[in-house]
Structure 1
Amino acid sequence: MVGIGAIPAGIQCIILYWLPESPRYMIRKGRDEDARRVLFTIYSGAQAADIEEKVAYIREFTEDKRPGTKWEKAKKDFKSLYLVPSNLRALILACGLQGIQQFSGFNSLMYFSATIFKIVGFENPTAVSLIVAGTNFVMTCVTFTMVDRIGRRRILIGTLWGCSAGLLICAVAFHYLPRDPNTGEISATGSNRWAILILVSQIIYVMFYALGIGNIAWVGQSEVFPYNVRGFGTGMATATNWGANLILGSTFLTMMDRMTPSGAFGFYAGLCLLGWLFVLFLFPDLSGFTLEEVAEILSTSFGIGETRRRREALRQLGQDEKRRRQEALMDKV
């Protein structure tokens, strides 16, 4: 099992050979021509003047003219992560998403799914847990085709409700499982309708998790931090993810024992609803905006209204440009 984990890591290591550095890194290192080539690849069809404007814009935001040693600058950047309002809001968003991702209970379910299915009476719990894991893989692939078309915020608002529903159904099904009248322990078999409902509810939960917070937590983390605090910010967010994972992994079986399985899954459903409130009131859809634009949006608020205003302005600009071209074509005719 440990060796199998090396396969995807090896594939990723190989394909990294064709992954270029980011334009911001190249411009910061004085490799403007390399940055232009990457930008032409990203913005296919762009004019040379547009790329030059982009290079100048990136240089303005990434060029470090501050005095001091590298260590002194690093200390200032770390402080600015908490003292600069836009950076602090970015940190809250990134850490919040990563916390939601873990406290929704997914990794506990993955770690102990075979144990859960054994409790409810399935004869081959490992094979059943592989069905749940396979659902996660398939829906993750589906997410890649949806995340930019639908938008991060819309997907999260919808899928966190779905996660809560799946967990609540699972909690109810656990409550109604048949029990031994003498010991009170679960005495169901895999063919019991409530056991089957537990399997179905966990598949529903995993589907919505993979479509939403399971992926968007990492996507959102990569979109909110400006260049100078990017390393510190992503490090803090990733530490939040694995710190929460440690808490869940070490408490899940205890919760199942002390709170009953129904209580444990109901508790995770409640955390998903809290995550839904976090997204509803704080998380803007930042897809399509540059890192510099994101810093501007987060400078005064969490930017839910501002991102909508900017998207509408861009949409109107596109309509005006289309109208202008149509008028020019009619004049030629």
Structure 2
Amino acid sequence: MAYAIEAQGLRKSFKTREAVRGVDLAIQQGELFALLGPNGAGKTTTIHMLTTLLHPDEGTASICGYDVVKDAAVVRRNISVTGQYAALDESLTGWQNLTLFAGLHGYSRKDARALAVELLESFNLAEAGDRTVGTYSGGMRRRLDLAAGILSEPKVMFLDEPTTGLDPQSRRELWDAVRHLVKNGTTVLLTTQYLEEADQLADRIGFIAQGRVIAVDTPEKLKASIGGKTLTIKLAEGTDPANVCRLLTSEFGMEAHSDEGGLIVKAAVREAALAHSVIGTLIDQTAAVDDFALSEPTLDDVYFALAINRGNEVAS
């Protein structure tokens, strides 16, 4: 099978720090693939290698069959890259920006103007087309940036954390724009820290940690891999979440974790009866429980399960 994006054993170091430590990817044509991981996991460095901005220290990668090192110029003609900051002229209107970019891509003046109108409509920016970009919201700028990015008719588009810093409404509007790209046949590689975003958009998801891809599958299969349900426990103020997690491990053999705020503890359970036993034990041992619930696993649960397993592997 010919892949739109393929990588084998990609490695990249900066002085003494190895940022990417053997990344393998195989992304099909027309697929939306999300690469998830925390800051410093290697997402952006991987993108920079795939888009010819960095040379790999080791390994190979290709875009639409073209090697990112040997055929870098051809690769750049087949891709578009959008990051966290829109590459637009804020003194020009949305329509003027698109017309300018279209002209740079070789369209005639007549075709550039017509295409600018068409793209403004497609990306839900028609009413703002005559306003200067400096007056646009963050979400509007990102959508306009996406519209400009497809003027070159790229076969592959890289979106490197494009919704960082956007409010929920702007994020969802950008999601619609990304869905529009995929519907029209563009292969999209999306990096994001927002697990809900990947769940909503991606055909498949890859989790990257410490420079390595540690799991790849569809959102549904990744969540099913957890097994059972997720027990979410809301602790009262003053309760030590670390003690609760240790108790769940020692008494029930459960891997538990708390969120950054510390008052929410989560653990995977296979039977509802076990969840009730857990809550009863916590209350008997004077752990203050404000509320609890059982739910289907989320990608957050998958991420933490993978992180725990990886931590155990490193420890052993």
- TM-score normalized by the length of structure 2: 0.25
Q: Which structure exhibits the higher relative contact order, with contacts defined as CA atoms closer than 8 Å and separated by 6 or more residues?
A: 1
- TM-score normalized by the length of structure 1: 0.24
Identify, as 1 or 2, the structure richer in helix: 1
